[in-house]
Chains A and B, each alone.
Chain A
């Protein structure tokens, strides 16, 4: 019977705890951290990136000094390639993050939104300044480039270049004219003959007059090579430096003699100046055959040449800058774009990295908390860092360890409590004392089987109001007990209640104890003890005492009365017949009454001095046969025996058992006789005697039944009381003796009505 299960609620703790799962992290080799999470690797990568940026900055700074081919075909290519790579990386990282966010949200994975928010925040923080830097920088470059090529500078440089160039052009034109004029002058000077004196005479005045600075004359043709040029004469003004090399003049003469139209050359001098040379062919007047070459040179001072070169270099640098404006702008814009993308990629990566650094230990902690929540108290997290998160992980592991120890302690105590609870439950189940607990709201909380049996309740009463359940007519006397207990203020209220259940008196000793915890009422516990047998025993004891006294007080005078009556009868045996008949009749009545009183007193005496049974192993069926043999003389009475062949040997007192059987059968005979005048000899009917061996309970069951008038409802509860008789002419001790013998054998006896009529006494004796 599970009525008392609530007493041990809540459920046993250790059953709710699953067995420890294998430790996933703790112990063994810690998992290898990915390379990207290695701080050294991250620092190295950052260092390399910074170095690359520095190199790029340096390169961009020197971009104007780089060769145009390198600038436009290498640097620009590299920067654009880097830009595109970083753009792709940024797109990839963002797309991957978005896709990952969607997937993780669909899978309801933790921290996906946090990671996305952190990345978005970092990107948003970096995006605005980076794009602003890009826009401002681009505009700055464009404005700077526009200012580079502003009209004043352009005009000044162009004009300066024109001046320098025109001066050179004029010098070249003058030398060219002078060379042509000298060539005509020398056409008849006998160059083909090598007439140096004539040549000197015609050339020297030109130099002396200052029209030419340096004149060199060559003769064309020799015996070996007709195109070979041979220097014949040269004359120089004093202003011509001494270090003027002749080689360039020789090459120019040879080139012109060879028919080249390129007759001019500008030769830089070691002293810093330049020589502007122009050659002209000397032809014979009639046949126009070239016979010589005259070179007229003009010396440009070092400062003039240097200034002119500087002007031209500046102009060319300016123009080249204009030509290369687009690649240079491209380099700068690419660089700015690269910086912007680098910032965005770095912000994105930093967001992801930071989110990972934050969420990973938190995720591990969450997973650990889930494991702990599922009862895996052996779960530990391997700390990956020594920072605050690492300390948090260490604290978690410490907490898990403490929880593990606490769990073990709780399990141990739980087992103790469970054992104690089972012990108490067993006690409450086994004891004959009924226990009912009522909660603070007046509802029945628990009820053991004894209480249910005594009060005729079942499990449906649990949870119901005490007042409703005990408002039943037979239980109403118990209704006021909890209130009475509450008035005791912590004490125990004892009551003795008599209930009428199933037509029988039930005497209960009820103890009600209010439950209090820190002053508040938590209900009441009612304890019921069935004291009916005790009451009954007290009554029997009292009756036995009365019987003993009656037997003593009544039996003593009976013998003298009987003897006196017999003496009177003997005395009057010789008297007259009427007197003798009167005396005989009176003495006979007196002696009969005395005998009857003696029998009555003997029964009283027997009931009062009934000895303790001396149980020995007996064959019940043999004892039954011996007892039932007394009734074979009754002609109209049928005794039907129905013995269970499986009946084993039972330990009983043979005489007392026969007494029980005789008393029960006597009772049945008298019941049958009551239908036919009340004389036992006139009893007619059937008395069935049935035995049954109850193997599961090891009980020998004996049923004596008749088809007489049956038992009255009112009499049924008093049948076994001493001196209670429905016939009014016997002692009323028969069934009381039966009950006493049966009880002293450890058995029980019950009386019941049979259908359609008759009564049955069922006796159970332990084997």
Chain B
């Protein structure tokens, strides 16, 4: 048996590698997606005053920094026994939606779309955001970066820093905004709606109108049949990423098989985690179905989260332009749920527009400039669960504290962890399709990598660990007795 390693995976946030095992004929027998870093945030949060946690956990990831901040802030509200004031809640929502826009924009333009714009078989040196800018034109590229920066500015105005935000207080927000700041947010928000429209247009022009690419988008090599988990409001509509009310799991046919209350311990009744010896990342599955192995298809206990899962689960979204795009996506695929992983990018573009429309709606609310953004009527409950729909999917922060609200226990289940099984399946499928009779070149490897990019892995988050990788792309093929047979490297 031969072993191929893709190490580490390029263009994802965090550190991972893929090991592919070939049989004697050079066909793929097995493929594993490994996470090789470990840090252990859950450990050093113990002993920390709860109100210090949001600022600390935001450093789990520098890209999706706002999501850990927000999930832990919601858990903090429960620990101090308070709901946020209406204005604080809306400021948090604007902040979170702004984060969505800039995060989804990075993912699409820097990590996902280069495969399509520059071409999946282009050399890695061109297949990146710089290549993308050259291809779509420097003017368009600059405009995208400029518009994305508007989202970062909203994030900074409300969160306090462009990187790791600081404004969280139990039941509140450290910073109220004035009329001038509201107008500024509105102006930026309108630009972001334009960015949303532009992004859907780019996706349509480059991917949907290209027959060869549509074969990839709707091809079996990137089809993984799974259950989906996502949150909505009580009516089943996706209206808030910050605070969904109900969580649903739909099965491979689209039937709802589980629903549970958001921001409560109920998730523990449905989700279990399995430790695997070959990765620092645990693999969750649906407890009610039981561990069935890393398999897709009807009856699987694996589920996926993220943009496509959310739209698969939700009956619709609550803003007009995004709803239109949502309907178009489902009518194009003519199936529901959509099981094609490349559709994650499409769903991401729709959500970018949705979040931008939400910013404009929330900033137009007369209450948004109220100074009532803080509370002080605390009673410490000792336990809190914050669940948000992060850009990459469902994020759960669960804390227990002592009577002084000092953390005694922390459990974090992040989006990439939920997606561990699906990612492994997607990689295995693509590897089997593209690697035949031991034939492996750079182009083929990228097709394999394209299987996980739509999930927008954040391995930094997933191991609560750290850090984009540490060696350039390397591929090792081993013979059955473990000897190095061939080594290809780009350095």
Question: A and B, one complex?
Answer: no
Residues of B whose CB lies within 8 Å of any CB of A are none
Residues of A whose CB lies within 8 Å of any CB of B are none
